[in-house]
Each structure stands twice: as C-alpha cells, then as structure tokens.
Amino acid sequence: MRFHFEQGPIRPPSESRSLLLRFTRNCPWNRCAFCPVYKGRSFSRRTLAEIKADIDTVRSIIDDIKALSWSMGEAGEVSGQVINRILTDPAKTGCYRHVAVWLYYGEGTVFLQDANSPILRTADLVEALRYLKEKVPGITRITSYGRSATLARKSMEELREIRDSGLDRIHIGLESGSDTVLKFMDKGVSAAQHIEAGVKVKEAGMTLSEYIMPGLGGVQWSREHALETARVLKAIDPHFIRLRTLRVPPHTPLWDHLQSGTFQTLSDDDTVREIRLLIENLENIHSRLTSDHMRNLLENLEGTFPDDKPKMLGIIDQYLALSDDDRILYRLGRYGGGAAVRRRSSGLSTPLGKSPQGVATGDRKRHRHPHRRAGRTILVRKFGAFDLGQGFGGLMALWCASRMRESGSGEPHEARSHRDKGGTHVLLSMRTNGQERGVHQAGRVRQAARRGGASGSFDRRT
C-alpha cells in the first residue's frame, strides 16, 4: 500500500509539530502585494471525498506504525527505537514519516492547509472535521488559516457549528489596520472587516491569532500603520498577536513597487521604532504578543498585556540604546544564525544577545535562500540604514562599510555579495568626493561564523 496524502507548502511556526492536512489548495484571493507563496497557482476547494480519503490514509499509517511498535516489543508506543526505525527506512514515504513524527511528539495538534479553509461550504467543513476527529485518535487541537473577508461573511451559527465540530483556533493575516496600507497592498479586506471577523471568531469560542506585519506601511505610512493597527487590535483583543516582519521577495507586486520607488522599506531600526509605537498604543487588551518567526529581529519580544507591556518596551529601548556598530553586529548575529558575534564590546551580554533559535529546520531552509542568493546587489544607504531583506551578506557589507567610512576610505556606494566554499564574500563600490573609486574587497564571512560567531576583514585596495 502506498501511504500518501496531499499537503500544502506552508504552516505557521507554532504548528511545527502538528499533523498537516490539506483541505483547500492555495489561496482564493492571491493578490496581496507582499506575498509570494501562491503566485501562479490556482485556487481550488478539495472535495469532501478527497479530504476523507486523506484522513483514511492517515489512520492507515497510524495503524501500521502501531503494528510495527508491537512487533518491536514497544507495546504500541512510538518510542525512540520505533521512530528511528521509521526515519532510517528508505522505503517509508514522507507522509508516513510525517505521521510518525507527529505520533512521537504526542501533542495531538492538527493544522488544516492551505490559506483559507473556512471558505469551504460550512456543511462540508463540519463533516470533514467530525470525520477527522472520529478517525484519528488523540487530537487535542485543530487550527486553520482564515481570511477576515470570509469569516466576516459566516453567520455566528455557522461559526459556532464549525467550532463545535473541532476547529479550535484560527490564524488571520491582519497585516495592518490602516485602510490606506490594506488598499495599497491589495489585501482585499478593510479594517472594519478585520474587526468584525476577529470579534465573531472569539464569540464563537475559537482561539484567535492575528498576524501583523511591521514595516508594511513603508516609510510613507509607518506611523499610520502602527497607530491604526493598534486601534484595530484594541477593538478585537485577540488571544495572540504574532509579529511577521515585512520582507520583499522578488516576483511579487511589492518588489515592483520597490524597484519603481513607489514604496520604500523601513530600516531595521525604524521597524523596531514602529513596533514600539504599536505596543505603546495597545491599551486595555489582554493579548499575548509573540515574536515567533525567524524574520523578526527581536525574537524575545513577547509578553501578555497589560502586565508585560513595560518589559516589552524595555526590550525595544535596550536595543535602540545600543551604539550604531553594536546594532549592526546584533543584526549580523541574528540573521547570520550564529550564537554570538565576536566583537570587542560586551554591550549585548543581556537577554537581547541570546542565541537565535529560529524555527524548524525545514522552515529555515525554505525561507533563507531568497535573501542569500549569489550576486544579489545590496544598496548600502548613507549612514548605515540597511534594508532588512538583503540577508547576512548585506549585514556584513554594512559592517565593513562602517569600518571603511571610519578609516577614510570613502562613502559606500554599492555592495555585492557572493558565496563559495570559503564563505560569503562582500565587494564594496566606494565614492570619494562624489567619484567612484572602484571596487574593494571589503570582507568575508567565514564558515566558522555559522557555528557561533562572525569574523571579517577589510582592506583599501581598488
């Protein structure tokens, strides 16, 4: 028997140990300017028969694993010996291994893929949820992404029926509470719809996570983005507020806006200041704020309102109080994946400097490569403001640029990075008195940097 069932491309970091089952394919909207995930793919609702067949396959895999466990003398438990046997057996499919790992962790959570499962006809979704809980033992929570526009159209009776059938948690991509930003990003939803959907989900008894995207307003609408997002969040008071810092990948409409100059990204530091403004204006709520994504600079920025609000503001202020060089080095360590950045200063020996953990290995591999592609041009803005989206090589270029500026070599004009077996090499084009002097071998990040630190050098040769 071939143990295979359909799965989608993504899941939230918080669902890293969940069983992944695909109820819909891709995104029914698929126009958001910042999102690359489903571009070029058509949306479809999977039929109830298809969903049930996949659930049956999961149950068959579970039964097969239990039988293997009994044959190994493990009394049906998915022990270390059992999981090791499965993961080292080349005949086992990826889906089989996925279910085995889910059983091994034993948390019982399930995540429904793809972008908007509630768009299914309510009767079909309810039947699929009931069938899932009937066939798969040990489920403790079922979670799904959902669009505000879809959820706002559901009646309270429908949402309560969906909740009673087993859907416990909804993740909504709020992104911004500013209608100006939502319209520019072609989000297909208004701030009022965000509020309506969030309130209805909570009233139906589901746990609600709202994703917000620091930096989405760019330079032009940063303040409006922060204040209006705070206003909408206060009206909803979700259980979780999850930070997802903006990145602008190629092949998205927002990338085209960036290239044409109609959108300007914030620097890392201005993004942190925007987050501070948001948190400062979140009053009379009881949400849990989490920074649970590898794109976020301040990974330990988390807490529950209102009690932890002073602590969260303190974390931000601690970062902003660092010197320019120390903030560059902090970013270098955070995005480079190292446990620490070797330097003379000890100003990051506080909790801010803890080793970044990121998310599951699969997510790191999926998300990191677009930012570290060979030959990527990195614009190093005057005085060191750096576009978050350019990755580890860019941060190293910025660090080298600051040293070269201090040494009198000139003003950095452009940086390029490339990778080889020796590490990440950074080339800087310098300007002195407005004239380009040529390309400098600005620095190299050695492979050792990935194991706990960064070492770099620069020279002044053209």
Contact 69, 79 (CB under 8 A): yes
pLDDT tens digits for 234-274? 999 999 999 999 999 998 999 999 999 999 999 999 999 99
The confidence score (pLDDT) of residue 438 equals 40
Judge contact between 34 and 26, C-beta under 8 A.
no
pLDDT over threshold 90, residue 65? yes
How many beta carbons lie within 10 A of that of residue 121, not counting itself? 11
Give the pLDDT mean for 320-339: 80
pLDDT of 372 > 50? The answer is: no
Rank 226-230, 349-353, 372-376 by mean pLDDT and report only the highest.
Answer: 226-230
Across the range 426-445, mean pLDDT stands at 42
> How far apart, in whole angstroms, are the C-alpha atoms of residue 155 and residue 286?
26
What phi, psi does 303 have (nearest 5°)?
165, 170
Does the pLDDT of residue 100 top 50, yes or no? yes
Contact criterion met (CB below 8 Å) for 397 and 328: no
Instruction: Compute the average pLDDT of residues 419-430.
Output: 50
Least confident of 83-92, 104-113, 393-402, 410-419: 410-419
- Domain limits, CATH 3.20.20.70, in the chain: 13-326
Q: How far is CA 52 from CA 116, 285, 309, 366, 399, in A?
A: 18, 40, 45, 29, 54
Q: What is the DSSP letter of 371?
A: G
Q: What is the pLDDT of residue 214?
A: 98
Q: Is pLDDT at 111 greater than 70 in this prediction?
A: yes
Q: How far apart are CA 283 and CA 237, in angstroms?
A: 10
Residues above pLDDT 90, as percent of the chain: 68
- Given a contact cutoff of 8 angstroms between Cβ atoms, the answer to whether 235 and 282 are in contact is no
Nearest to 206 by CA among 236, 186, 185: 236
Span 70-87, mean pLDDT? 96
Average pLDDT for 15-36: 96
Question: DSSP character for 3?
Answer: -
How much of the chain exceeds pLDDT 70, in percent?
A: 72
Q: Does 120 score more than 70 pLDDT?
A: yes
| pLDDT on residue 366 | 32
Residue 388 has pLDDT above 80, yes or no: no
* Residues in CB range of 272: below 8 A, 6 or more apart: 297, 298, 316, 319, 320
| Residue 422 pLDDT | 52
Contact 49, 6 (CB under 8 A): no
Which residues, at least 6 apart from 17, have a Cβ–Cβ distance to it below 8 Å?
Answer: 101, 102, 105, 107, 109
Considering only 92-101, 323-332, 369-378, 430-439, which range has the smallest mean pLDDT? 369-378
Reply yes or no on whether the pLDDT at 446 is more than 80. Answer: no
Instruction: Quickly state the pLDDT bin for 408 (edges 50, 70, 90).
Output: low
Q: How far apart are the first and last CA of the chain?
A: 64
Contact 396, 389 (CB under 8 A): no
The per-residue pLDDT for range 300-312, each reduced to its tens digit, is 999 999 999 999 9
- What global pTM score does this model have? 0.76
Residues 100, 136: contact at Cβ < 8 Å?
no
Strands (E), 109-248: 109-113, 141-146, 169-175, 207-212, 240-243
At 185-225, the pLDDT tens digits run: 999 999 999 999 999 999 999 999 999 999 999 999 999 99
Instruction: Identify the band that residue 420 occupies on the pLDDT scale cut at 50, 70 and 90.
Output: low
CATH number for the segment(s) 13-326: 3.20.20.70
pLDDT value of position 400? 58
pLDDT band at 294 (very low <50, low <70, confident <90, very high): confident
For the chain, what is the mean pLDDT? Answer: 80
pLDDT of 184 over the 60 cut: yes
pLDDT category of residue 394 using cuts at 50, 70 and 90: low
